[in-house]
A and B are shown apart, each in its own frame.
Chain A
Amino acid sequence: MQAEVNTKELIYLYAFIPTQEYEENKLTDIKGIDPDYSIEFYVFGEITAVACLVKHEDFAEEVLQKKVEDMKWLQEKAYHHHERMNTLHNTYTVMPLKFGTIYEDKNRLEDTLAEHKENIRTVFQNLSSKEEWNIKIFTDKKAFIKEVKENSSEVAKKVQEIEGLSKGKQFFEKKKLKDFIEKQADKEIDKYCESIHEQLETFSADTEVKKNWERKLTGRDDDMCWNGAYLFPKDKVEQILQFISEEKDKAEKDGSSFKFEITGPWPAYHFSSFQNQGGE
């Protein structure tokens, strides 16, 4: 069914998919990460590996290390990986692999696959009829701090305490007040985000809290205060989106600066790891 693997080429691996789903709907003619080759589906029992031949001259270890330091090349290839994964994900239950998983030949790939067969099967089960979504919350921290300074009862209490102190002590305490207000603002931001997260958690099969990005990464003029990946059952997604939409409206109506950004469905990059299954 597939062409024999030429020893001159390496194999770039994208993902694993259940063979049953592949047999039901065979995608063909998808250009690979090396545009001279198309994507191939290697069937190994219940598991099908989605891969593409790549040339030694571009993907051998020492060449590849240099290539990934070329930002233009890396960006292009990373986007390719991303796009192909979306294509697969539109049709199959997909276990996405990390960018740059490459084998010398089909036998080596088969060996690795045999080693992880049980784990892969478990992940397929965990992922079936679920979707990964990413939810970020942003706020204008400066505005938030100002708001806390003016309206927080905690801050008002603190200010009152300071006014009761001696003049010398007041000087130092006033200096510390700025920190106190900022901390108080952080606390309130966290509290808000965590309450949203907790509600999302009740819908989720799994969650991963990720690092917030700084402005120079987001390019936005407000601040990221929550970044979470969620594995939602497909039949809950509508309800969850509705929930977010309501929270959005609520935040707007309350005049708060909280903004939501929701993206999905993603291939389950965050929830395909073997670690959870006790594999190596």
Chain B
Amino acid sequence: MSDLLSVFEYQFFRNAVVAAILISIYAAMVGTYIVSRKIVFIGGGITHASFGGIGIAYYFGANPFAGAAIFAILTALGIEWIAQKGKVREDSAIAILWSLGMAMGIIFVFMTPGYTPNLMSFLFGSILSVGTTDLYVLAGFGLLVGIIYAIFFRPILYTAFDPEFAQVMGVRVAIFRYMMSVLMAMAIVISIRSIGIILVLSIFTIPQITAMLFTRNFARIIPLAALWGITGSVTGLILSYLLDIPSGASIIFFLTMQLLIIKLIFVIKQKIAAGRN
């Protein structure tokens, strides 16, 4: 127990916990949109395509995050554009952009002379090295998403549910779809720093799926997903320290365990209820 508390004496660990909480909050908002619209695959495409931007930025000595952000946003807009025009199958387009981004990333990283520092941290994340500036970025972005959701909650919900009807009702559907695509891309890139490309999507999906076991009301899924995101990621962080295992993987592993345990409780409760009847 003293082990458990002593870890909070370290600044880096406190930063990591705050980062996990902040990420859980905005991921709850953006992720509920992703899971409700069943566009997890688009999230995967955006995430992996961003690696192309990281590779190119390394090669030209630019900021890898700027590269990732540009690639992610362009990919998100491209996928949405294809979806709205309907000329190419959306899933094929996503698969192409997904692998093209990864391929470009690998090629440019390979061509970059010398050692490429922190490459692993882009793939797996390094939440334990999050600094104060990073926390401001996470908090600022969380605030932005919160304000957008507060103002545009209904058009976002209506557009996600039935875009054609929303358009008949005069909602500017295309604009909201593009806006949400950009928000999704930004949320993913900002989280890559902490969670890493390979695992980042899970923070946008697992807590939401957990929350959806309790409610099927979009507005209520968000706070519940934030709660399950926070409990899962903070527990994962503490375990990663105690067991000395990589933090990103530990967080995702614990988020998944939490989902499975809760699901199991639901199944058992249903069985008991069915047995009574």
A, B in one complex? no
